[in-house]
Amino acid sequence: MMHSIKRTLIGLIVFLPTLLLAAPKTARIVERTMMDIPVVGEITTIRTTHVGECQILERRDIKIHNLLARMFGGDGKSTEFERIDLCQETVTHFDSEDGETRVKTFAEVRQEPDESDTDIHIDNENDEEPATITREFSRKREIINGHRCRLVTTRILMGEKERPLIIRQWVARKIEPLERRNRQYERFNKATDQDRDAFQGVPDFINAFLQALEEDQDLQPIEGYMVRAEIRLDDADGDPVFHLAYDLKESAMLAHESKQFAFPHVTPAAISKPQMPSGDF
């Protein structure tokens, strides 16, 4: 009897790590983007994504800080949910403003016109002064939002009298939750005949923009995953024309729970605020 108990304990010790590793995991990703444009004002977006073996649930919370815009658009806040089910081959959208849920099959998505064109060009109004583009890679690494990152700075100068567009990116080599999300979106794009370059967020937009530069310029490509980014453009007087700041606030692999992929079964007014550190939204 004692030997049987010992063998059972030894078996549990040996196989428990394997069982834990084999348990379903969900990737949780939280991203914050702040965009500031004169007159329009500041717009903040929080994108929360859960990625499982079959499902992707994305929640987008948007807040317009401009008082005039809010006067004509309610409180300036909106929340949208989208769930992609790779096993059931459906896309479900929930809008907090109207409380309606809309479902499309992958077959219906395939029949929709392709709106994923990401052909980006840098046009210079003054052909006599071609754009000058430079890129610098920092030698040292720094910890940003828990990830060991390298700073990459790209400067785009459209003319001698113009201020440069400056793009700063803090890039990490490997982030498992982002890798999981990319793989699942690749599955979705393949299943729906979508262009892989279709934008899935601010990092994809910035990467597509920079890839367009790399094709026309002799620039070293940026490899890795974006953890933080800043884009800034000033006018000739040094006043800001455009400013964008992106942060990967959270990226973790969690134990799988079905509630991670559920829509809120509440009235639109009762949708809770996204779980973020104070001051982020």
| Cβ–Cβ < 8 Å for 125, 118 | no
The values of phi and psi at residue 88, to 5°, are -85, -10
Residue 12 lies in a domain: no
d(CA 105, CA 110): 9
Residue 40 lies in a domain: yes
Number of domains the chain contains: 1
Of 25, 32, 35, the closest CA to residue 240 belongs to 35
What's the gap between Cα 178 and its chain centre? 9
d(CA 192, CA 186): 10
Pairing outcome for strands 101-105 and 147-157: unpaired
What six digits make up the tokens of 22?
């084999």
Residue 14 lies in a domain: no
What six digits make up the tokens of 120?
């980006």
Give the pLDDT of the chain (281 residues) as one tens digit per residue. 555 555 555 554 544 444 344 568 999 999 999 988 777 778 899 999 999 999 999 999 988 877 655 565 567 788 999 999 999 999 999 887 777 889 999 999 998 876 555 455 555 555 556 678 899 999 999 999 999 999 999 998 877 667 889 999 999 999 999 999 999 999 999 999 876 455 567 777 787 777 777 777 778 888 999 999 999 988 877 788 889 999 999 999 999 998 999 887 544 444 455 655 445 65
Residue 7 lies in a domain: no
Residue 281 lies in a domain: no
- What CA–CA distances, in Å, run from 26 to 58, 82, 102, 259? 13, 16, 24, 11
d(CA 231, CA 212): 16
The values of phi and psi at residue 158, to 5°, are -85, -20
Residue 11 lies in a domain: no
| Cβ–Cβ < 8 Å for 58, 46 | no
Residue 1 lies in a domain: no
State which residues form the domain around 264.
Answer: 25-270
| Cβ–Cβ < 8 Å for 195, 118 | yes
Residue 182 lies in a domain: yes
Neighbours of 158 (CB within 10 A): 20
| Cβ–Cβ < 8 Å for 28, 252 | yes
d(CA 222, CA 226): 10
- Only one residue has tokens 């990625």, namely 51
pTM of structure: 0.79
